[in-house]
A and B are shown apart, each in its own frame.
Chain A
């Protein structure tokens, strides 16, 4: 059974450009989470969905960040415009209703 799939694995872009990160959760999981990991702040939750509906986006840093989940098998995290301080590793995770979260391999984003 495939785990959580994230793409791209690495993204290098210039300041001001739009960045889109993608996630395919594990089939049958109905909760999806987006995290960001930095040296300064550790692993922080950005937003999570339950049954494709955003439940809590209080961790989204600012309006430049947006996330969607158009169906149960796909989610995107978009940053527009990107800034150097957005450089981090972004993880997607999925879980059954209240079960263990399974993480994807992450996307390493570098904004120059």
Chain B
């Protein structure tokens, strides 16, 4: 049972435009969400996170939006740059977890074209 889903395996955008990556979850007990970015031959690196008590968190070009009623979160990258080309994973933590066990989505490969 996939509790965190990224339904778009890939996304291609033009440099300078907005990239929107989507993620849906099924468990209403998730209370913290994270986005990771992964380049080939490297481990995933933390990008941005959001607590379930917020609906938006912004860090430079990256903004994460959370819609709890729809069980949906999205990552916006504005403006997109070729260096943003990578695989993006969303992940969630159960509120009952005191060890930070992450449930990952399948990932979305973003390609930003110059």
Q: Which residues of A does B touch, CB under 8 Å?
A: 4, 31, 33, 42-45, 48, 50, 55-56, 91, 93, 95-106
Between A and B, 22 residue pairs with Cβ closer than 8 Å are: A4-B43, A33-B101, A33-B102, A42-B105, A42-B106, A43-B107, A45-B102, A45-B104, A56-B101, A95-B100, A97-B98, A97-B99, A97-B100, A100-B100, A101-B100, A102-B46, A103-B36, A103-B43, A103-B45, A106-B41, A106-B42, A106-B43
Say whether, besides A91-B43, A93-B43, A98 and B107 are in contact (CB < 8 Å): no
Closest to B36 in A: A103
Q: Is the interface of B mostly helix, strand, loop or mixed?
A: loop
Is B97 part of the contact surface with A, judged by Cβ < 8 Å?
yes
Say whether, besides A42-B104, A98-B93, A31 and B44 are in contact (CB < 8 Å): no
Q: Which residues of B does A touch, CB under 8 Å?
A: 34, 36, 41-46, 49, 89, 93, 97-102, 104-107
A105 to B36, CA, bound (A): 14
A98 to B100, CA, bound (A): 4
Contacts beyond the supplied A44-B104, A96-B100, A100-B34: 4 A-B pairs with Cβ under 8 Å: A42-B104, A97-B98, A98-B100, A100-B100
